Structure formats: C-alpha cells, structure tokens
Amino acid sequence: MVEQVAGARVRATTVAGALVVALLAGCSWGTADVAGPSVAPTVTASPTPQALSATPADAAPASVVTGDEAQAALATSAALLAEAPVVVLATAGDAAAVLTAASAAVATGAPVLLAADGIDVGAELTRLGAQHALVVGEVTPEVLPAGLATVAVPAGADADALTQATGLSFGDVSPVPAGGEGAAVRALAGPGPAVLVPEGQAPTPADASGAATDPSVAPTPGGGTATLPPTAPVVATGVLALADGTVPAAAAATLRALGVPVADVPGGDPRATSGAVQAVAAAAPTSVIAFGETFGTPELLAARTATARTGVELPGGGQVVFPAVPGQAGKRYVALYGTPGSGALGVLGEQDVPATLARAAQHADLYRGLTSDTVVPAVEIIASIASAGPEDDGTYSRKRSVDDLRPLVDAAGAAGQYVVLDLQPGRQDFLTQAQAYTELLELPHVGLALDPEWRLAPDQVHLRQIGSVGIDEVNATAAWLAQLTRDRNLPQKMFVLHQFSLRMISDRERLDTSHDELAPLIHVDGQGGQPAKAGTWAALRNGAPGVHWGWKNFYDEDVPMLDPAQTYQVQPVPDLVTYQ
C-alpha cells in the first residue's frame, strides 16, 4: 500500500477500460479565481448572477489514466473533480468538435466529456451535479440526463460563436495539424484562449450549428444562440499531470481548464531523467495524474513521485542507476576496488582520498569515447574485510567503522562519483552487516555489494574454503535495503552480487529482482587467463535471472588484463567495470 497522510482514504475508479485507481489523501484544493469573481455580490434590486465554478476533488497521491480518448476524458474528470455545474460535451472521433470543446473548456473552467459507445456520460454528468452543458457538434440527445440545460455550438466554431455561447472572450483562430491536437490543447491558456480548428478547415459561425439539445429541456429562444450562465475557472492546486507521450486532447482540455500543469516523463518513470526529476521537484505536487500504461500502478507511481519530489540526483543524473529511456543515453560505471589505506586489497587504497577520486575519474575517462551512454566514475569500498582470525566477535570479519569510511564516501559524492559498500562478512550474515552501515546507505549515492566468497559457514575459515550464501539471505538483505530506500525516498540503489562460481549463490534462480528501489547486478569476479574469464562469464550468464552485469579487471592476476576497448567488446557490454 502507498503510505498516506493522516485522514487518507482509498478510492478506486475503473471506467470502461480506462484505469483510474487513486489512493486519496485528505488535503484541500485551491479555488483561486482566474476569469472573474467566484462569489456573487450581495443581491440588490438588480442581482448579478453568481458565477458557476467546478469543485476539484480531494487530491490523490497518484492516479493512472489509460484507454482511448473518451475513456481518458471520463477518467480525468472522475479523478480530478467533485462537482462541475457546467460541462462541455462533444463526440469522440470528431476532431473539430473536440478542439472547439477544448477552447471552450479553458475559457469556462469546465471539464470536457466525450460521447462514445460504452461510455456512460450521463452517469458522470449526474455525479458531477451538472446543470448546464455546452454541446459541441452532433451529440446524441439520449446520452444526456433529463433536466440538463444545453447550449449548442458547431464543431469548429469561430470566436464569435463561442463568445455568443459562453459570454466570454476568445483569442485568434489557431489551425491544428492532424495528430497535433493534444499538444495544441496543452498550449491553451486563459482568459481568452485561442480558437482551435483543424488545419485546412475554416471556422464555422454559430448559425451553421446543427448540434442537438436535450429534448426534455425547453428550447432556448434563438436555437443554438443561447448563452451559458456566468462561469469562473478554478485552479486545482497541488496537482501535476505526467505524460509519456501525448495526453488525449479532451483530457488535456480538462487539465488546462483546472490549471493543472503537465510534465513530460519519457518512459513513464519520473525518476529516470534529470528533466523529469527537476520538473516534479519544482512543482512539489501533492498529487499526480499520469497518462499512459508505462507509469504502472498508482502505488508504484506514488512511490516514484515521492522520490522525484526530493530533487536529489544520482551521479550521472536522474534517480535510476541504469535508466532505459528510449532515445536517451543510459549509464555505465567504472570503479576502483579496495579499501582506504591498504594497497594490498586493491588499487583503491594505493593513494589518499583526493588521488583515489582522481584515479577513478581517469579510469572512467578512458571509456567515454567507447559508448554513447554516460560513464560514471565510482569506488567500491570494502567495508568489512575477511580476516584470517575470528576477531573479537568471532565473525572472521573486520568491520571498518562508519567514521573510517565517511571521508571517502563524502568526497566521492561531492565529486559526482558513485559509491558501493562491499561486505565480506565471514561467519556473520549479510543482513546484519548491512544494517551496521545504515548511516552510509542512507546517502543517495551509496549502494551495496555482497561478496559470497567471504561468507563462511560456522565451521569454515577463509582461504581453506570458498564461501557461499543461500538465496534467502540475499533476498532478505535486498528487501531490507529496498525498504530503507523507499522509506527515505532515496534514489534507486545498485545492489551487487559478486560471483565467480555457480555454487557461491545457491538457488540463484530465485533471486528477487522485483524491488523497484534496487538495480541488481551480478559482478563476475573471475581472474587469470582471458579464455578462462570468458568461460566464467558465459557459465554465470547461463540461466541467470534478469539483472545487470559487471566485469572485473585485475592488474596483477589477469593474463593479460583487457584494455577499455577490449573490455567493452565483452557481450553484453558490462554495466559496471571494476579495477582491482
């Protein structure tokens, strides 16, 4: 379940194939006036009609809208509105009518609904308490509830026709090319929105209207020339719309009518790109409504949005370790491996902190010309070190303190480098050791690596046996790390499993890769001759779960060590390359 604020309640709305599932949090919506006063003055001898305004619904942490244009229009209304005394109606598939309806909606602050087979427009009009409808083009009267007062305008109506019908002013005519309807509607702004018409079609005057009106309502004098009562748009404060592609025009019109901004989120994950993260952070929404199946469930979207709201990005940009957004660069990592202050355990410890970061950056630079992806320098720090003796706690693992590691961890973050903490736990379990480094793992640029080679059974000793770990312990550690990440609204974390033998991780096929907060990676640690290393790589990839892959280059043990170009000839190209 999505974590909700006090007073939260749950609502689920499914509309004929369009999904709107929202976990509603009890927060208030703004009702700022846009096109005039929302409250009539005191009645005098010549009373002024009260302007009618829509009432936004309680904000939901997340709603996801899918389906065709009529389903999306209905779903958007259901998600965002509690009441709407005035609505705009058109027929799905009539581009001219939908564009006219959009212009009218932005001017009046009314939602747009589309009549179509399988869409119960009447039920939504009743739920909204609609009293008046601007009917654009041909709408079958049977879809309208009895007692609804209607005003008709033609599809493709000109500014005079819209002014006559609404009593409001409109801007210039704006031709819209086929396929550009959603973008054109998103660009509408009131008061005085542009009059949208299909490209190549002349605007239609009011007297050309053939629009139907509800036969249960007495005709208004002048036929389709009657005027709606005064209206005043309101702003649905705290709401941000997210789009992976185009928002259907009618749904976009309702968003614009309520002053809801739209942010583009390629791929459907608001964490994936720097642009999406910063758009969400700048808007600081209490609610998002997303358009497209790529956004997943409302619960997933709510969690991702909470992370994006922080605006904190990973080295290389965004909040996803390995983003996969069509048309945009991904990320790969090049790291130094070892522990600070000890050259015996890897190249990371052969120099002080500033020189280590400079060396990591130099290694990454060698790979940048070999890929279109962003190459991020990194350091993999051995946080707990396998020891020959039992140590004071009997674990055969010497744990570096948080204070020992923090200078390098903090300096790496400041330099835009990623950090992975590597655990060699001896006779202690991985979860217990990981929890000891919670303070560092709470930092956004710090991930976790498990090194099963150094995970001993109670009767084992390092270098006499090669360690191993059961998958349940791995999954428990992953679950804890994912929960920590989710609870702190942290960017996604790299979760690395070191392996050079299949028996090092038993039942590996049951690895839980479902945590959206983690990017699991199997790091192939084989050393020696390149044919042997290639064989290990192939063996470990055979039957593996869906993960990313890492490759290690050993300065002293590899015969020969691959250069960067040769390393990136390994297939698939490693997502993480470390040097030891």
Tell me the average pLDDT across 257-284. Answer: 97
Same domain, 112 and 237: yes
Task: Tell whether 370 is covered by a domain.
Answer: yes
Same domain, 29 and 157: yes
Task: Tell whether 326 is covered by a domain.
Answer: no
Same domain, 296 and 341: no
pLDDT at position 147: 87
CATH of the domain at 552: 3.20.20
pLDDT at position 47: 56
pLDDT at position 206: 72
Task: Tell whether 39 is covered by a domain.
Answer: no
Three-state DSSP at 486 gives: helix
How many domains does one find in the chain?
A: 2
Last residue of a domain, one of 310, 343, 360: 310
Task: Tell whether 318 is covered by a domain.
Answer: no
Same domain, 194 and 268: yes
CA distance 404 to 108: 63
463 vs 161 pLDDT, higher one:
161
Tell me the average pLDDT across 61-75. Answer: 96
Ramachandran category for residue 507: left, alpha or beta (phi over 0 → left; psi -120 to 50 → alpha): left
Same domain, 450 and 540: yes
Residue 146 binned pLDDT confidence (cut-offs 50, 70, 90): confident
210 vs 365 pLDDT, higher one:
365
Three-state DSSP at 112 gives: strand
Same domain, 194 and 303: yes
Same domain, 293 and 349: no
At 79, give phi and psi (nearest 5°): -75, -35
CA distance 64 to 426: 46
Tell me the average pLDDT across 234-258. Answer: 96
Task: Tell whether 62 is covered by a domain.
Answer: yes
Q: Which two tokens stand for residue 218?
A: 């007495």
Same domain, 306 and 348: no
Same domain, 361 and 254: no
Domain region containing 234: 9-33+49-310
Task: Tell whether 159 is covered by a domain.
Answer: yes
Task: Tell whether 327 is covered by a domain.
Answer: no
Which amino acid, one-letter code, is at 388? A
Last residue of a domain, one of 310, 344, 365: 310
Same domain, 69 and 191: yes
Same domain, 247 and 99: yes
Residue 59 binned pLDDT confidence (cut-offs 50, 70, 90): confident
Task: Tell whether 41 is covered by a domain.
Answer: no
Same domain, 230 and 288: yes
pLDDT digits 0-9 by tens, 400-442:
999 999 999 999 999 999 999 999 999 999 999 999 999 999 9
